[in-house]
Structure 1
Amino acid sequence: MLPTFFIAHGTPSLVIEQHAYTEFLQKLAKSIPTPKAIVLFSAHWESPVQTISSAIHPEMIYDFSGFSEELYAIKYPARGDLTLSLHIEQLFQDEGIRCELDDERGLDHGVWAPLHIMYPDAQIPVVALSVNPRLTAEEHYRIGAALGPLRDEDVLILGSGGTVHNVRRLDRNNPVPQVWAVEFDEWLAEQLETWNLEALLRYDERAPNVRVAVPTPEHFVPLLLALGAADGARRAKLLHHSFQMSTLSLCCWMFGGIKKS
């Protein structure tokens, strides 16, 4: 049984950066058993209906502008897994979760940027999943929980987004984290480490500085989805935490743990 993870994907340039966080992601992939497939909820794929990628050879999506031309040359030729996509569809349907398949959607940078760092050979099949920021936190948790059985099938479930993610507050000239950003992540860590669902599912009401830390929810909800997928274990561990540009949180949370079958 594999754990689930929430991974911050930072800015698109993360994929060509070299620092403590990128080194951590490289080591993380080597520290866990090689999965049969990867299922990833991306903050950069928003859809009103829970959507499952089913393309056999998903194309690259360069969903950004103003970054180095080097990024547009990056390829991540991971194949899809239609059998797994159909299995996920059934898991959602079994829980009464409306969903649909998309055989045209490619891989956005919320998918390929962290995976290019973690699994650069792109030999592991990838199924991307959308997020719907308009759902409640409880609904996100329930969607994640529906995929819990995949952990027993050696499928790695990832949520790719960011906890503190406010592009208007980035300061490229200031490496020192802002107090409000640190306070938000510290509150979140306390709730995750105690699996305090009452607080976590009301984060938008209870967390300090939530309006500035999470001005829009699409980057935060992948954490709730990954959390829900480990509902059967209810253990959380912070594996890495750092900041870029004063307010961009780069963290990785592990939910559940590795169990030998």
Structure 2
Amino acid sequence: MMPSYFFAHGAPSLVLEKHAYTDLLNNFANSIPKPKAIVLFSAHWEESVQTVSAVDEYSTIYDFGGFQDELYQMTYPAPGNRPLSEEIRSLFAKHGISSKLDEKRGLDHGAWAVLKLLYPDADIPVVALSVNRFLSNEQQYAIGKALSELKEKDVLIIGSGGTVHNLRSVNWRANGVDEWAGAFDNWLQQKLEAWDTASLFNYRELAPHAAMAVPTNEHFIPLLIAMGAGDAHKQAKLLHRSYQYGNLSLSCWQFD
């Protein structure tokens, strides 16, 4: 069965960078069989109703400003997969989750910056999905769980966001890691590896420095969705964790 994954997408410039985390992303395709399709939840697509993309070929959204000119020339023209989009809607309906199709939206940088590093040829069909910050953490997990059977069909489920993502607190000149960011991620690692959903669903009350690490939850949601997709076996493995600018976390989690 194909694992599901959570990838931090960091800053938009990630796709131009060279370090241990981008090395992991560049080599990722060698670690698993080539998926038949990719289902990706991005923190940068928010909708009040769960939305499923259904496009023939994706345009590229440049949802950022002030970065290198090279970024605005990049494209990721991955094909869509309308039958898979319809299957996803059927799975959501089966589990009582309302959804709708979107036939126009391209890939935002939370999607294409990660995918360009994972599969630069853009030759694997992609179905992009939205997140909803107003659902409970239990509901976020259930969204991933509803799609878990796709893993048996060689579909790769990805959540793209960030566990510590507070842009007001980043220090562009920092060399080390802020204590509060490390403390939050250490707590998170313990609970994920123990598959302690009771604590994870209440991370805002239980985790140290949760308000600093997760000031708004849209970047945290994809982690819970990717975890939910691994509910059958309940095995979490941290593949990488590092930081940029003092506290912007770059992490990769695998859920078997």
TM over 0.5: yes
Query: d(CA) in 2 for partners of 1:170 and 1:12?
Result: 14
1:259 maps to none
**Structure 1 residue 154 and structure 2 residue 154: aligned?**
yes
- Name the amino acid aligned to 1:77: P
- Name the amino acid aligned to 1:221: I
2:94 maps to 94
2:125 maps to 125
- After TM superposition, list the pairs within 5 Å mapping 1:56-205 onto structure 2: 56-205=56-205
1:248 maps to 248
Query: d(CA) in 1 for partners of 2:228 and 2:76?
Result: 28
Task: Give the TM-score normalised by the residue count of structure 2.
Answer: 0.99
- Name the amino acid aligned to 2:34: T
SS of residue matched to 1:188: helix
Q: Is the CA contact (8 Å cut-off) linking 2:58 and 2:76 kept in structure 1?
A: no
- After TM superposition, list the pairs within 5 Å mapping 1:224-239 onto structure 2: 224-239=224-239
Query: d(CA) in 2 for partners of 1:56 and 1:175?
Result: 43
- Name the amino acid aligned to 1:124: I
* CA deviation profile, 1:63-92 (whole Å, cap 9, x unmatched): 001111110000111010001000000000
Pairwise CA distance, 1:16: 0.7
Pairwise CA distance, 1:177: 0.5
Query: d(CA) in 2 for partners of 1:102 and 1:78?
Result: 16
1:51 maps to 51
Task: Give the TM-score normalised by the residue count of structure 1.
Answer: 0.97
- Name the amino acid aligned to 2:10: G
Pairwise CA distance, 1:222: 0.2
| Bigger shift: residues 27-36 or 243-252 | 27-36
SS of residue matched to 1:34: coil
Q: Is the CA contact (8 Å cut-off) linking 1:63 and 1:108 kept in structure 2?
A: yes
* CA deviation profile, 1:135-194 (whole Å, cap 9, x unmatched): 110000011100000000000000000000000111111120000000000000000000
1:14 maps to 14
Query: d(CA) in 1 for partners of 2:186 and 2:29?
Result: 25
SS of residue matched to 1:167: coil
> What percentage of residue pairs aligned between the two structures are identical?
55
SS of residue matched to 2:159: strand
Q: Is the CA contact (8 Å cut-off) linking 1:175 and 1:243 kept in structure 2?
A: no
- Name the amino acid aligned to 1:160: S
Query: d(CA) in 2 for partners of 1:73 and 1:137?
Result: 37
SS of residue matched to 2:140: helix
- Name the amino acid aligned to 1:189: Q
1:4 maps to 4
- Name the amino acid aligned to 1:42: S
Query: d(CA) in 1 for partners of 2:175 and 2:168?
Result: 16
SS of residue matched to 1:151: helix
Query: d(CA) in 1 for partners of 2:50 and 2:216?
Result: 18
Query: d(CA) in 2 for partners of 1:28 and 1:177?
Result: 25
For structure 1, which runs of at least 5 residues remain unmatched after alignment?
Answer: 257-261
For structure 2, which runs of at least 5 residues remain unmatched after alignment?
Answer: none
- Name the amino acid aligned to 1:208: P
**Number of equivalent positions:** 256
